Amino acid sequence: MLLLILGMAIFMAVHLIPSFVNLRRKLIGWRGQTYYTIGYSSAAMIGLVLIIIGKSRAVEVNVWDAPDWVYHLTPVFMLIALTLLPAAYMPTNLKRFMRHPFLTGIALWAFSHLLVNGDVAAIILFGGFGSFALFDMWSSSRRGADKSTVKLPFYRDILLLVVGVVAFGIVLHLHPYLFGVAAIP
């Protein structure tokens, strides 16, 4: 459990740096953009590796058992989340209606996994990522993030849906191999 907590702390601390504009400027000014990017990426990777190792080794201490009906909601939430994640990087009209599609996708991913995972390690992992996504949405909005005003052709929105459905299918298929449990029981 300690590795999971340490990994979450490192990963979240690194990802909080952009929220503190003056700190980010100082770090870039210290050694330049290249060293900042290398340090940022390396620390984030170390945090991610510790999260993966820590979660895989965590002793399961159950806090709650999910009711059967939530297992029907989670795939729906995940389809939406896996559509929102690439929306941040694809030119679509969705960005005209929401400021933070990627972070909203992360929050939805975390929430949907909290519904079906009631052990302490899952609460730390998914609760941490969900909380961070909500904080980062607030922080980014405070720093001026805004919705797009550009209207794009409708086919771009259809393409986003196709990407989301394909990503959902891939995750659904690989989930038991990657995480040891079927996504849909």
Over residues 104-152, the pLDDT tens digits come to 999 999 999 999 999 999 999 999 999 999 999 998 888 888 888 889 8
The answer to whether residues 84 and 165 belong to one domain is yes
Q: Where in the sequence is the domain holding 128, given as residue range(s)?
A: 59-185
pTM of the model: 0.87
- What is the torsional sign of CA 121, 124, 129, 130? positive
The answer to whether residues 82 and 156 belong to one domain is yes
What total of structural domains would you count in the chain? Answer: 2
The answer to whether residues 38 and 5 belong to one domain is yes
Q: Tokens 């984030």 correspond to what residue?
A: 44
In the predicted structure, residue 185 carries a pLDDT above the cut 80? no
What's residue 180's pLDDT? 87
The answer to whether residues 63 and 122 belong to one domain is yes
The answer to whether residues 9 and 63 belong to one domain is no
The answer to whether residues 100 and 155 belong to one domain is yes
DSSP code, position 93? G
- Is residue 32 within a helix (H) or strand (E), and if so which, with residue range? none
The answer to whether residues 82 and 93 belong to one domain is yes
The answer to whether residues 4 and 75 belong to one domain is no
Short-list 158, 138, 141, 165, CA closest to 91: 158
Residue at which a domain ends, from 42, 58, 74: 58
Over residues 41-50, the pLDDT tens digits come to 999 999 999 9
Over residues 159-169, the pLDDT tens digits come to 999 999 999 99
